[in-house]
Amino acid sequence: MKSWIRNMFGMMGALAVAGCVSAPETRFYTLSVPSGSSVTKDAIHSSVPIFIEIMPVNVPERLARPQLVVRSQAGQETELFILEQDRWSSHFNNELRDAFAAGIASQIGAINETRGAARTPDQPVYRVAIELSQFDAIVGDKVTARFNWAITRSTDGRGAVCYTVISEVVSGGIEGVVKGVQRAVSSAAAEVAKNLVELDSRRAATCVPRIKMDNAY
C-alpha cells in the first residue's frame, strides 16, 4: 500500500513536469450514512422526544482539515500522507459533528436543539461533547478510533462520561477507508444514543468502556 500511494504522488509529479494543463481531479467524501443502512437496524426509539445539542467535536490538530490523513501500511508509525485530491466535504471535525447528530437522531429519534425545535420548559436538553482522541487510518488495512464523550442534562446537571475504541478492517483504496470511518462513527453514535435513552429514562447510564474489533468489510 505504501508503494501505491508513492506511485500516486509520482504520477502527479510526472504530470506536472510534463506541463499537463488539466489539474488532478479532486474527490470529495462524506461521513453521512445513507438512509436504510444496516448500521441503524438496531435503532431504539424513545417514547418521548429527546432534545440534544451536539457540541463541536474535538480532534487532534493534524486532522482538523478537509484533506484525508492516512498511513500507507501497518508498522509505518512516523509517516503520514495528507491527500490533497481526497477530501471530506467539510473539515473533518465538522463532518464528525454532522455524522454524530444524524446517527444519534436515526438511532433514537432525537431532536437537534440547535435547529430551534420547540420544546416545553420541563423537557431537558442533553448536551453532548465528543472528542476523537486517537485516530489511525491505514489504507487497505484498518481504521482505528477512540471516541470519548460527556453528556450533561440541562435540568439538573446529571450525565455520563464514557468512551469506546473501535477498529474496522478496510479493503481497497481510499473508498474503503472512508467506509471504515463511517462504520466507526455509526458504532460510536449508537453507544452515545444508548446513554441518552438511559439518562432520559432516569436510569444510570451504562458506561462500560468498549473495545470493538470488526472484521467485516
Give the pLDDT band of residue 201 (cuts 50, 70, 90): confident
Count Cβ atoms within 10 A of the Cβ of residue 201 and give its class: 0-12 exposed, 13-18 middle, 19 or more buried.
Answer: exposed
User: Is the C-alpha dihedral spanning 78, 84, 89, 90 positive or negative?
Assistant: positive
Give the pLDDT band of residue 203 (cuts 50, 70, 90): confident
Q: Tell how many helices (H) and how many strands (E) occur in the chain.
A: 3, 9
Count Cβ atoms within 10 A of the Cβ of residue 117 and give its class: 0-12 exposed, 13-18 middle, 19 or more buried.
Answer: middle
Give the pLDDT band of residue 131 (cuts 50, 70, 90): very high
Residue 47 has pLDDT above 70, yes or no: no
Measure Cα distances from 18 to 15, 21, 66, 173 in Å: 5, 9, 28, 26
Stretch 42-67: mean pLDDT, rounded? 87
What does the mean pLDDT of the chain come to? 84
**Cβ-based neighbours of 117, under 8 Å, separated by 6 or more:** 51, 111
Domain definitions of the chain by residue range = 26-214
Given the candidates 3.40.50.150, 3.10.20.90, 3.40.50.10610, 3.40.50.2300, the CATH classification of the domain at 26-214 is 3.40.50.10610
Pick the residue with more confidence: 106 or 43?
106
Stretch 82-99: mean pLDDT, rounded? 97
Residue 190 has pLDDT above 70, yes or no: yes
Q: Which three cell numbers stand for residue 165?
A: 475504541
Give the pLDDT band of residue 1 (cuts 50, 70, 90): low
Whose cell is 484533506? That residue is 67
In angstroms, rounded to a whole number, what is the distance separating the alpha carbons of residues 84 and 111? 35
In angstroms, rounded to a whole number, what is the distance separating the alpha carbons of residues 169 and 180? 7
Residue 149 has pLDDT above 50, yes or no: yes
Nearest to 207 by CA among 71, 194, 36, 215: 194
Beta bridge partners of 214: 168
* 138 touches 73 (CB < 8 A): yes
Stretch 186-207: mean pLDDT, rounded? 91
Give the pLDDT band of residue 122 (cuts 50, 70, 90): confident
